[in-house]
Amino acid sequence: MKYVIATHNKGKLVEFQRLLEPMGIEAVTMDIAEPEETGKTFAENAFIKAEAACKKTGLPAVADDSGLCVDYLDGAPGIYSARFAEPGKRRLTVLEKLKGVPEEQRGAHFVSAVCCVFPNGDKIEAEGKCFGKIAFESRGENGFGYDSIFQQGDVTFGELTAEEKDARSHRGRAFAEFEKKLRAYLEGKA
Ligand code: ITT
């Protein structure tokens, strides 16, 4: 069965495709209007996006709502990660807000809430987190969004290969849980 990927973020799309492919899912993209993300949690927003895409296309739809939560900023930008500052200035804004903040106070984590909504109204939800810290400067060209300022050990996510990122990222973890739940769901239907 085809599943539609409900995202307008090109970086996420690449990750969705490589995480869904090994599950044997035929993931397609379609031009679907972006719904307003009015939820108060990552999970609520993921559901809003998946439900809108499912209703529009009549196909099961997979969405993710994700973001970076910085301890020193009381969890910001969090669910507002995509709207935190002007496009192109988001990483710099985080770095500026943490200027002079010592390493031990630079803790941060990424969250990914995945939701799949089926045309019959069923839904599967999964969530993944990964913990690290905000680097002192942007490093690495890989990935997207805040990857080049999010550091685990000595390397930023921007310095990881795709496989390395998937093995430890919030989205990799969320999709691993999603895969288990999807298998159980589909077996129950068989
Ligand atoms: P869709 O809603 O269309 O999927 P979006 O970019 O608006 O795209 P979100 O509302 O979930 O998605 O915002 C998440 C933001 O958090 C995203 O724009 C990135 O800036 C950041 N982000 C999420 N996952 C990330 C990752 O794996 N690496 C770096 N930044 C990430």
- Quick check: is 65 catalytic? yes
- At 122, the pLDDT band (50, 70, 90 cuts) reads very high
Mean pLDDT of the chain: 96
Domain count, the chain: 1
- At 148, the pLDDT band (50, 70, 90 cuts) reads very high
- CATH code of the domain in which 61 resides: 3.90.950.10
Atom of ligand 1 nearest to the CA of 9: 8
Q: What is the pLDDT of residues 153-188, one digit of tens each?
A: 999 999 999 999 999 999 999 999 999 999 999 999
- At 8, the pLDDT band (50, 70, 90 cuts) reads very high
Q: Which of 64, 65, 147, 166 is catalytic?
A: 65
Q: Among 5, 9, 69, 151, which is best to mutate for testing ligand 1, by the most ligand atoms less than 8 A from CB? A: 9
Q: Among 8, 51, 79, 81, which is best to mutate for testing ligand 1, by the most ligand atoms less than 8 A from CB? A: 81
Residue 115 burial (10 A CB sphere; 0-12, 13-18, 19+): buried
Put simply, whether the predicted model's pTM sits higher than 0.95 gets the answer yes
SS (H, E, C) 15-64: HHHHHHHHHCCEEECCCCCCCCCCCCCHHHHHHHHHHHHHHHHCCCEEEE
Q: What is the pLDDT of residues 77-114, one digit of tens each?
A: 999 999 989 988 999 999 999 999 999 999 999 999 99
- Residue list, ligand 1 pocket, CB within 6 Å: 7-9, 12, 34, 37, 49, 65-68, 81-82, 110, 143-147, 169, 171
Residue 69 in this model has a pLDDT that exceeds 80? yes
Which domain does 96 fall in, by range? 2-189
**Cα distance between residue 138 and residue 13, in whole Å:** 23
Identify the bridge partners of residue 107 per DSSP, sorted by sequence position: 133
